[in-house]
Structure 1
Amino acid sequence: MLTLLFVVACGEDEEDKELVIMTHDSFDISESVIEEFELANDATVVIQKAGDAGEALVRAILEKGNPSADLLYGVDNTYLGRALEQDIFETYSPDLLDEVPDRFKFDSTNHVIPIDYGYVNLNYDVEFLAEEGISPPGTLEELTNEEWKGRLVVQNPATSSPGLAFLISTIAYFGEDDEYDYIDYWTDLKANDLLVKDGWSDSYYTDFTKYGGDRPLVVSYATSPAAEVFFSEEPLDEPPTGNILIDKATFLQIEGIGVLKGANSEKLAKKFIDFALGKTFQEDFPDKMFVYPVNENAGTPDFFKFAEVPAQPSDISATEIGEKREDWIQAWTEAILR
């Protein structure tokens, strides 16, 4: 009996020596931060990148009950409904959740714990608009005017996270089945020479005028102007791009982490969630993933002063997104791409 207990105990110890985190390809944390967790817990952390956020979630669902990872990082409020519906996560309520403002607690059941957030909105090329003598649009409706014909590039919501976020913003802004709803709006955008690309990188670095394209407006992130300053080869006092923060037309994107059911190292996984909510982790990723920390006590780099926070983002719940996302995308595809 003593021998059996010893073997079982050793097995549990071995399980807690390695932590596997499945995440999206954009995940980026300093090695020193990961090493701090490893040293504190006498463990090894393995980062398992699985494509974009949607692809990572699909993999976790396919591995339901027998996951190759212990944690899934990167579930956002556009995919939360699907993740909860598939019942792939354990519940966990970390103490540091008390340091997270309620507006970021997007899962009341605590299957997915918020870690970071950002905003999707329109960006503009400052120099281009100045040379043209025009001001950035103040409403979404203005984008259907002749002045903005052929000047906007967006991403396909079926293949792009910011593309989906912008679509959802227009749904929150214009509504569904109203006299003039979001499909009517997108139809007018299409008639105004809208350009749709599959991904953000192509639209931003190929079609945006800042990088030699012919579109001075692009769907991007509120942190993009700050990123332009950060990556500039020469010091900048002001970013070359700007945010268009139209009330109720920006999208708050919240990303979270959850312990996968059947995880080999469940205890260690929960310790990592505690760590991920702490200041060391929270203050490390803003200049790597260009998102904001959810812990209200965590600071951000100086250049984040150019990463404006919208006063009134769109008001639409993760539950509604989960229920209607596929129908919205299908309706958009029928109206815009066919």
Structure 2
Amino acid sequence: MSTRRAGAAAFVLAVTTTGCSAIGESVQDDGPASDRVVVVTHDSFSLPKKLLRQFETESGFEVVVRKAGDAGALTNKLVLTADDPIGDVAFGVDNTFASRALDAGVFAAYEHDLPAGAGDHSLPGDDDQRLTPVDNGNVCINVDDTWFDERELAPPTTLADLADPAYRDLLVLPGAATSSPGMAFLLATVAEYGDDWPRYWADLMENGAKLTAGWSDAYFVDFTAGGGEGDRPIVLSYDSSPAFTVPEGADASTTSALLETCFEQVEYAGVLDGAENVDGAEAFIDFLTGAEVQASLPESMYVFPVRDDVDLPAEWAAYAVQPDEAYAVDPSEIAANRDDWLREWSDVTSR
């Protein structure tokens, strides 16, 4: 297995394994509250042990990690425990769930100076700076360039192209009701088509789009460039995915992200309102936005840093191209319509 393929396999492990991050293994949930900072996060949170040890040494706080499922489950748990918070600081609520958490009073303000570039990813409407941006990435359609080249067929480039009969039975993607990237893609279609998005989805399904429960099934089982026996050369994945499909010794990736189809995801950290250790929570947020942690994010959590003064790994810099503009939906609109959109999406895709 090449180092790049090994990296892709590590990516799958990182996003699907529960409770196995380096941080989660390194601490015990004991000691006085003033000596420890309790971090509530999603299951795929992982940082190098060396950096965690450095934070503990420099801050004097022991880190306790409590994992709470994916971003949606994390948000739900934070909302349900808003009056009696289960930690001091939370990381992993993203822009598709953030408004719900803010409306429920989950987070307290932490007005501090953001590092260069981070402010570009601040949550719209969060004037009190209750959420601090930590990382970002884009959910994008990816294509197997080799498959298309061998058949002398031009790949799609836009959302509209995916419903073209030329690409019948070629697309696989995780469902919006069971997958964070699937939900992001639904939001991209809402941003593009407005109230007509259900018609687009009906066309997409009529054109033979295949839905899976999660990203790993779509990418590693059905995608032709996913390393398995897949037969679909178009898949929903990430703008960083092409960095993991560069053959050993080659100078080009065999896949591409379609940059006109992307929806930006930003993950945030925030001090939990009513936290026992506010100082520890604020120190941990500063740690997450520090240069060393930011530089580690691509290889530890497969996301882009929000700071603009850190260097990306060479393969990311070369092959993980981000769009100049990505689809976005106002967080308050997502909060108001998420449940209705998911119900309608389920109706359309199950016909």
Is the shorter-chain TM-score for this pair beyond 0.5, marking a shared fold? yes
2:159 to 123, 135, 140: 140
Give the structure 2 partner of residue 20 of structure 1.
38
CA 1:72/1:99 → structure 2, altered by over 3 Å: closer, same or farther?
same
In the TM superposition, what is the alpha-carbon distance from 1:100 to its structure 2 partner?
Answer: 3.0
* Residue of structure 2 equivalent to 1:187: 202
Q: Does 1:127 align with 2:139?
A: no
User: Is the contact between residue 227 and residue 290 of structure 1 (CA under 8 Å) also seen in structure 2?
Assistant: no
Shift of 1:35: 0.7
Q: Do 2:78 and 2:101's aligned partners in 1 also have CA atoms closer than 8 Å?
A: no
Alignment of 1:100-111 (within 5 A): 100-106=117-123, 107-111=126-130
For normalisation by structure 1, the TM-score amounts to 0.89
Secondary structure at the counterpart of residue 46 of structure 1: strand
Tell me the CA shift for residue 171 of structure 1.
1.1
Q: Which residue of 2 aligns with 1:241?
A: 255
**Is residue 56 from structure 1 mapped to residue 68 from structure 2 by the alignment?**
no
Deviation at 1:26, TM superposition (A): 1.3
Asked whether the 8 Å contact 2:221–2:230 carries over to 1, the reply is: yes
Identity %: 37
- In the alignment, structure 1 residue 283 sits paired with structure 2 residue 298: no
In the TM superposition, residue 98 of structure 1 has moved relative to its aligned partner by: 4.8
Q: d(CA) in 2 for partners of 1:118 and 1:161? A: 12
Distance 2:115 2:127 in 1: 13
Q: Is the 8 A contact 1:136 1:244 kept in 2?
A: no
**Offset at residue 238 of structure 1 (A):** 1.6
State the secondary structure of the residue aligned to 1:284.
helix
Match of 1:70 among 56, 64, 88: 88
Picking from 150, 154, 157, the partner of 2:176 is 157
What secondary structure, in the 3-state scheme, does the structure 1 residue paired with 2:220 have?
helix
The question of 1:175 aligning with 2:178 is answered no
Deviations along 1:165-200, whole A, 9 cap, x unmatched?
111111111121xxxx21111101111111011111
Alignment-derived partner of residue 116 in structure 2: 99
**1:299 and 2:311 aligned:** yes
Q: Whose Rg is larger?
A: 1
> Is the contact made by 1:94 and 1:273 (CA closer than 8 Å) also made in structure 2?
no
Partner Cα separation in structure 2 for residue 27 and residue 98 of structure 1: 21
Residue number among 90, 96, 101 corresponding to 1:83 in the alignment: 101
- In 2 relative to 1, CA 72–101 (structure 1 residues): closer, same or farther, beyond 3 Å? closer
Instruction: Work out the number of aligned pairs and report it.
Output: 316
Distance across 1 between alignment mates of 2:87 and 2:328: 33
**Runs of at least 5 residues in structure 1 that lack an aligned partner in the other structure:** 1-12
Deviation (angstroms), 1:55: 1.0
> 1:39-79 CA deviation, whole Å, 9 max, x = no partner?
00122112222211111111222222222221110010100
Question: Cα deviation per residue 1:7-39 (whole Å; 9 max; x = unaligned)?
Answer: xxxxxx942211111111111110111111100
2: CA distance, partners of 1:261 / 1:236? 50
Q: In 2, distance between residues paired with 1:14 and 1:143?
A: 56
1:3 corresponds to: none
How far apart, CA to CA, are the structure 2 residues paired with 1:129 and 1:14? 60
TM-score (norm 2): 0.86
Give the match for residue 339 of structure 2.
326
Return the alpha-carbon distance in structure 1 between the equivalents of residues 60 and 157 of structure 2.
54
1:133 deviation in Å?
1.0
Match among 272, 282, 307 for residue 270 of structure 1: 282
Unaligned runs of 5+ in 2: 1-30
Q: Find the residue that maps to 1:67 and give its secondary structure.
A: coil
